[in-house]
Amino acid sequence: MDKLKKVLSGQDDNDDLNVLQAASDATTLGWGTRVKGFIASFVLGVVCSLLGACLLWVPNVGLTLFVVFYTFGNVASLLSTMFLMGPLKQVKRMCDKTRALATAIMITCLVLTLCAAFWWKIKGLALLFCILQFLAFTWYGLSYIPFARDAVIKLFSTCLK
């Protein structure tokens, strides 16, 4: 109770936990639960992405269904890694200087994909943003593998010569 009084009165010491750290500490999961959550979320993401690809060929609403399921699949796959390292650490890693651009492009493409499908109703643009989503998500994922981005850059530069 004394701690609550200090916080509310503005007399909180700097060495106390901040709100995000306290929330992170309060929601800790065991390793087994984290792995199960990761697997379930990742599998859900992959299934949604594949289901979206299958629904692409449904007449009239196929592209819209594809966009929704593919985007939801990417979000679920991205969130799956939060089970392994925790949400706060994942967000910090997403904002590292090596991943910040890929993260920004990926999130922007996620939003623009949904805007193109539902708000603007331009199917070609929605499909383009889905492709950019895939490329940004791949580039983001490669940032976690040492030297993977360098290898991809070298591969493409060799192929283009």
Query: What pLDDT, in 10s, does the model give residues 130-156?
Result: 999 999 999 999 998 899 999 999 999
Contact assessment for residue 106 and residue 133, using Cβ atoms and an 8 Å cutoff: yes
Query: pLDDT at position 11, please?
Result: 58
Helix (H, G, I), strand (E, B) or coil at 116: helix
Question: What is the percent of the chain with per-residue pLDDT over 90, rounded to a whole number?
Answer: 57
Residue 15 has pLDDT above 60, yes or no: no
The helix (H) or strand (E) run that includes residue 41 is helix 31-55
**CA pair distance 71, 107, nearest whole angstrom:** 10
The helix (H) or strand (E) run that includes residue 98 is none
**CA pair distance 76, 132, nearest whole angstrom:** 17
Identify the residue with better confidence: 6 or 117: 117
pTM to 2 decimals?
Answer: 0.75
- Per-residue pLDDT, averaged over 81-100, amounts to 90
Q: Locate all alpha helices (DSSP H) within 56-147, ordered by sequence.
A: 62-85, 87-94, 100-114, 123-142
Give the CA count within 13 Å in the CB-facing half-sphere of 142: 14
Distance, CA of 57 to chain centre: 26
Contact assessment for residue 73 and residue 48, using Cβ atoms and an 8 Å cutoff: yes
Query: pLDDT at position 104, please?
Result: 96
Show the CA angle centred on residue 90, arms to residues 96 and 146, nearest 5°. 60
Burial of 12 (0-12, 13-18, 19+ CB in 10 A): middle
Query: pLDDT at position 121, please?
Result: 87
Query: With bands split at pLDDT 50, 70 and 90, how would you rate the model's confidence at 85?
Result: confident
Residue 7 has pLDDT above 70, yes or no: no
Question: What is the rounded average pLDDT for all residues in the chain?
Answer: 85
Question: What is the percent of the chain with per-residue pLDDT over 70, rounded to a whole number?
Answer: 83
Residue 18 has pLDDT above 70, yes or no: no
